[in-house]
Structure 1
Amino acid sequence: MKPYVICLMITSPDGSLHPSRWTRSPDGTRENWSSLYDQVHKDLEANAWMVGRVTMAEISKAGPHAPSVVSSVARPSHYANPSASSFAIAVDRSGKLHFSSGELYGDHVVVLLGADVDDNHLAELAADGVSYIVSDTPQIDMSAMLSTLGSDLGIKRLLLEGGANINGTLMAEGLVDELSLIVAPALEARRGSDRIVEFGDEGLTGKVTLSFIACEPLQYGALHLRYAVQEAA
């Protein structure tokens, strides 16, 4: 069964996702925004979080490295730590991500890959203690992947935390249940700022609707906005 998926992001009122570029606030600082995000992340009580390739590359910071021993690799899946209770999940269609271990922030790493990923990359992931699931198709079937994460690893509640392309893709496919936004009292106001959600040239018009769930005041003048995400009629 597919996990309940919450898209969790922190933003300024003008849609910026980069606290380092925000105006100063008399109510809080960059460190305060980070601590607020971490607290909401914890309070939502998910047992997995997921990001796209670009975001995960910024987190993992590892480069390619051949495994010391190359053996046969398993397809379509390899679970290095099936008894793990929390998971860090990366979507990496082409097999470009690398890791120095099978854990990030205490969560077991699972990579979702396209069908054309080569065996050498799978061997590297396995040698580093990373779990992986290979799609049946070159373009990853995210609905099937989420169902596999639920059935094989017991993931019931998952935080989707960007970037904009993966957020938009899952929303367009009807796979996101909730949009959860932390809005900080600051601005960036530069041209070309990143978006919370992006879906090609067509956008999400006619694909999804948002229904208000709740608005909770947080520390440092921030708000936590929650919306149910539903397919458009």
Structure 2
Amino acid sequence: MYERPFVLHFSTMTIDGRIASATGYSILSCKFDKLRLYLLRGMVNAVMVGASTVNIDNPRLARRIGDVKPYYRVVVDGRLSTSPNARVYNDTSVPTIVFTGGSAPREKIEELRRRGVEVVVVGEGHRVNLGDALRILLENYGVKRVLVEGGGVLAHSLHRERLVDELRVTIAPVLFAAGRSIVDDPEGRGFTEWPASPRLSLECHEVCPCGHCIHLVYRVRDAQCCPVSTPPPRCLADRILRAARL
């Protein structure tokens, strides 16, 4: 059993578990929930997203409250399907690391490296070995805490391999009925029964200062490997209110 960073999965979702509608609409966070995200980013060494999040949302992933160092943006893209013109690759305020598979196009790897992006091949074919990627983040980059922001496919892979230590969700008062799920298996199987699901224990719950959303914090009881760090503070309502007054 190897050591790895503490992995925290954070997402804002609808009451029916969607992070985006069928048309791709994904604006769910109130101003306080955005502050929660920025506070969490300030407490970790890396924020991790999948290829779909980069392609659809085109985030910068740079804004945060706090100054924990080191701080990296991490993209998991087994096929290198993301555009080299994505903001996460062209904003130089924060270094970016891309983990990709062994079959990734060589010309795309070189293009990203010319832009100052670190590209690490870890895994065979178009699959990224997530356990190895986390170990590399710890050993080569000094990353002790990772914040996973999406999307659903990456989240499913991490949960399936029991590489998530904590799940934090903000539930917005919205129903989509279709669209992208917080945890999404592209093969359509999912966790087929209760014993197959990660075992979660509720550690904290609080009503968002907006009065309409609920924030829940779950510990993953059957996470694998040995995280080298502890979780960030779990109940952040007071810090969020202080940040809102700044």
Task: Specify the TM-score bucket, using the shorter chain as the normaliser.
Answer: 0.7 to 0.9
Match of residue 72 from structure 1: none
Q: Structure 2 length normalisation: TM-score? A: 0.72
- Structure 2 segments unaligned to the other structure (5+ residues): 60-68, 224-246
Indicate if the aligned counterparts of 2:20 and 2:181 stay in contact, CA closer than 8 A. Answer: no
How do 1:192-211 and structure 2 match up within 5 A? 192-199=178-185, 200-204=187-191, 205=193, 206-207=195-196, 208-211=198-201
In 1, the alpha carbon distance for the partners of 2:206 and 2:92 equals 27
Larger Rg: 1
* Matched positions, count: 199
C-alpha RMSD of matched pairs (Å): 2.6
The letter of the residue matching 2:216 is: L
Could you tell me which residue of structure 1 aligns to residue 136 of structure 2? 148
Aligned ranges 1:47-62 → 2 under 5 Å: 47-60=45-58
Stretch moving more, 124-133 or 103-112? 103-112
Deviation (angstroms), 1:118: 2.7
The SS at the match of 1:225 is strand
Work out which of the residue numbers 31, 36, 53 in structure 2 matches 1:35: 31
Q: Does the residue aligned with 1:107 lie in a helix, a strand or coil?
A: coil
**3-state secondary structure, aligned to 2:134:** helix
Mean Cα displacement is larger for which, 126-135 or 216-225?
A: 216-225
What do the CA deviations read for 1:61-112 (whole angstroms, capped 9, x no partner)? 8xxxxxxxxxxxxxxxxxxxxxx82111111111222334745484321111
Paired-residue identity, %: 25
**Mapped contact 2:100–2:123 kept (Cα < 8 A):** no
Amino acid at match of 1:163: G
Correspondence for 1:219 among 192, 203, 209: 209
1:162-205 deviation digits (Å, cap 9, x = unpaired): 11111011101010111100112x22243x23211123433223
Q: Which residue of 2 aligns with 1:163?
A: 151
Return 5+ residue gaps in structure 1 as ranges: 22-29, 62-83
Distance 2:161 2:149 in 1: 16
